[in-house]
Amino acid sequence: MLWQSLWPEPILLLVVVLLSQLLVLPSAYHPLTLFRFYARQLGRKVHPDPNRPENQQRLSGGLAVIVALLPPAIVSVALYMISELPLALDAVLLYCSLDWPWQRRQMLEIGRSLQQQQLTLAREQATAILVRDTSRLNLMGLSKAMVESCILRGGKQDLAVWFWFLLGGGIAALLYRLLLELSQQWNTKLPVNRQFGAAASWLIDTMAAIPMLIVSMILALQYGIKTSLKQLRNQSLFFNRSAFYLLTCASVAVGCSLGGPAYYGAVKIQRSRFIQHRQPGWQDIARAIRIVHFVQLYFILVVVGVVAAQVALQL
């Protein structure tokens, strides 16, 4: 049969991504919400004292990653071994790894609050998304933070999951996403997690590097290669290379300045500045979401092309 001779992951990806847009699970019922709670509880248990020796914190952080990921990995492999419909299981695992529609809804709500000059409400809403101290942010600062978060989440939480699904199926997508959640719950931007979260942070930065580079290239091709390359000459402070490249291209795409100092856990961190001709406003949150959607569409068109090429070769 034609279906059996095709590479199934691209077709499954298209179906599940469409389904995730139409059937959006509420945050309270999403499996990732339960895993976030589990990660926080595990972190408190194995990392009770941030004043321990750094080597001990790093070791406990690495072991915590194994403890957190091993059970879902074993259960997933066992299900594949007994399942008569492995592709259906692939689809379920991918669906459980995606929550961009819910993230997008939160960002749009924050944008509406800023539009209505409800800065206090917007700060409270942003605490569910941002790691940094939101109490110090004015309208421009909060808009900038949300634009950065939108672009980075679009690359790391969405496109990277698609990428790993195409490479390794449902298990790869799920384990990548769970590792991403660990790195966010044990975020090394906070001083208390700087050593403990290092293992999860390094692993996720490594796994997300290629997908984020792909997103950066798409943005540069669409919104100006020369301008993006000129911005890349700036010094990279605080951001890892893939995030630096992505935010550089994103500042050109959105057309506003990004980066600059930020407070994490009452500590002021100097970060790279991506200078454009204007500062961000609340309108740029929706603009950043549209840019993420453009990259998603570009990626989907490539996947459709792969599927069409497979079908043409089989006919």
Q: Would you state the structure tokens that stand for residue 309, as one six-digit string? A: 């090429």
First-to-last alpha carbon distance for the chain, in angstroms, is 11
**Cα distance between residue 182 and residue 63, in whole Å:** 12
The yes-or-no verdict on residue 5 having pLDDT over 70 is no
**Cα distance between residue 24 and residue 30, in whole Å:** 9
**Averaged over 253-257, what is the pLDDT?**
91
Q: What is the pLDDT of residues 268-291, one digit of tens each?
A: 888 888 888 899 999 999 999 999
Q: What is the pLDDT of residues 78-110, one digit of tens each?
A: 999 998 888 999 999 999 999 988 889 999 999
**Averaged over 59-79, what is the pLDDT?**
94
Residue 214 has what pLDDT?
A: 93
**Averaged over 225-231, what is the pLDDT?**
81
The yes-or-no verdict on residue 64 having pLDDT over 80 is yes
Instruction: Output 4 or 217, whichever has higher pLDDT.
Output: 217
Residue 200 has what pLDDT?
A: 95
- Of 20-29, 50-59, 110-119, 193-202, least confident by mean pLDDT is 20-29
Q: What is the pLDDT of residues 23-56, one digit of tens each?
A: 888 888 899 999 999 999 999 999 888 888 999 9
Residue 2 has what pLDDT?
A: 47
The yes-or-no verdict on residue 60 having pLDDT over 70 is yes
Q: Directed axis angle between helix 8-22 and helix 100-115, to 10°?
A: 40
**Cα distance between residue 84 and residue 77, in whole Å:** 13
Closest CA to 276 of 225, 230, 207: 230
